[in-house]
Amino acid sequence: MIDAQSLTRHYGKLSAVDGVTFQIEQNTIVGLLGHNGAGKSTLMKMLSGYLEPSAGSLVVAGNNYAQGCRAVQKMLGYLPEALPLYPEMIVADYLDFSAACKGIARQERSRALREVMLATDISEQMLWPIHRLSTCLRQRLGVAQAILGSPRLLILDEPTRGLDPEQSQNMRALIKRLARRATVVLSSHIMAEVDALCDRVLILHQGRLALDASLADLRSSNTLQLRVLQSSESLHQALAALQEVASVEGLADDNSYTLRLRDKVKPDVASAAIAKCVAHSGASLCTLQPQQRDLESVFHEATHGAISR
Ligand SMILES: Nc1ncnc2c1ncn2[C@@H]1O[C@H](COP(=O)(O)OP(=O)(O)OP(=O)(O)O)[C@@H](O)[C@H]1O
């Protein structure tokens, strides 16, 4: 669906996005993570066609942005970082205006409006002027305009910004539903949100892509933690000699070992070999389990240059 090659955007001397390459498949939800100023919004602006790249190429659904992005914008829903809302406008009028801008035919508009107001739960406020809306309602209105016309590509810059936990939960459920028929790229500062929602995560650090991985891959660990009753040098050596094991780090104080597995070795196959090795060496096995890598620690590693993938 999206093919970005060496995407770069300069603001004067600053490289806000610097040589970023990735591909995104259809109907996936991709989370963009990064510290403040990492380049997330700039990347999203380029994906939406709002901002031209300084260098690199972008092809979305077979359309190369270098030849214009009108065709993509017709299939796009975009919630920008700061959505321009007109305070005096009535909610329904604003959505009708947005629908007209998206080229939705007049006779289809009332159905389209009803659908998005229902999905974002703002039907009750449809006759309110926008200045009466709370932060949360404004955010929902922003999402409502983004999903008008059932876009195939949804770009959501912090969709749960300003929402309370229950509203965030509802917004996530809505995004999940939308992703059944759309590709979604969203940015967030909330790890748990990306963990719960996304199939893939792209981590930006100072404009560069520090990590591109599927959440499933991040969850499946290729490292096992072993604790025995009494560690020994001979056990360390025996573990290191196992063909399933790439490296062993031992912590004598704790009688524990961290075993990194060779590529493509399944943890359960390796666990059986390790347990056998421990028994064979005469040691007593206390625990043997995969090392958990939560998104928070992955993010920390990626943004401190210590990531291994
Ligand atoms: N219009 C602009 N002119 C000059 N510099 C800009 C402009 N927009 C963004 N920047 C700078 O580019 C860098 C990336 O900004 P960007 O808004 O893309 O980051 P971000 O990851 O979205 O940050 P945040 O999480 O705070 O929204 C920052 O250093 C920012 O100050």
Query: 16 φ, ψ to 5°?
Result: -70, -35
* pTM attached to this predicted model: 0.81
Q: Is 41 in the pocket of ligand 1 (CB under 6 A)?
A: yes
48 C-alpha to ligand 1 centroid (Å)? 16
Q: What residue type is 168 in one-letter code?
A: S
Q: Where in the chain is the domain with CATH 3.40.50.300?
A: 2-218
The pLDDT value given to residue 170: 85
CA distances from 194 to 32, 191, 209, 284 (A): 8, 5, 17, 40
pLDDT at 305: 57
The model's pLDDT over 121-145, given as tens digits with 9 standing for 90+, comes to 899 999 999 999 988 899 889 999 9
Instruction: Between 192 and 3, name the one with better pLDDT.
Output: 3
Looking at the CA of residue 207, tell me the nearest atom of ligand 1.
14
ipTM above threshold 0.95: yes
| CATH 3.30.70.100 domain extents, the chain | 222-291
Pocket lining: 68 vs ligand 1, CB cutoff 6 Å: no
Between CA 213 and CA 295 the distance in angstroms is 11
Spell out the long-range contacts of 165-170 with Cβ–Cβ below 8 A and sequence spacing 24 or more. Answer: 167/136, 167/140, 168/193, 170/121
Tell me if 34 CB under 6 Å of ligand 1.
Answer: yes
Atom of ligand 1 nearest to the CA of 43: 18
Domain 222-291 has CATH 3.40.50.970: no
CB distance 36 to ligand 1 below 6 Å: yes
Instruction: State in Å: Cα 44 to ligand 1 middle.
Output: 11
CA-nearest of 309, 274, 269 to 293 is 309
For ligand 1, is residue 17 a contact (CB within 6 Å)?
Answer: no
pLDDT in tens, 5-15: 999 999 999 99
pLDDT tens column, 155-181: 999 998 878 888 888 888 889 988 888
What is the tens place of the pLDDT at every residue in 246-282?
A: 999 987 678 999 999 998 898 889 999 999 999 999 9
13 Cβ closer than 6 Å to some ligand 1 atom:
no
Reported as a single tens digit per residue, the pLDDT across 70-99 is 888 888 999 998 887 889 999 999 999 999
Residue nearest atom 4 in ligand 1 by C-alpha distance: 11
Mean pLDDT of 151-156: 94
Whether 303 lines ligand 1, by a CB cut-off of 6 Å, is no
Architecture of domain 2-218: 3-Layer(aba) Sandwich (3.40)
Higher pLDDT, 252 or 16: 16
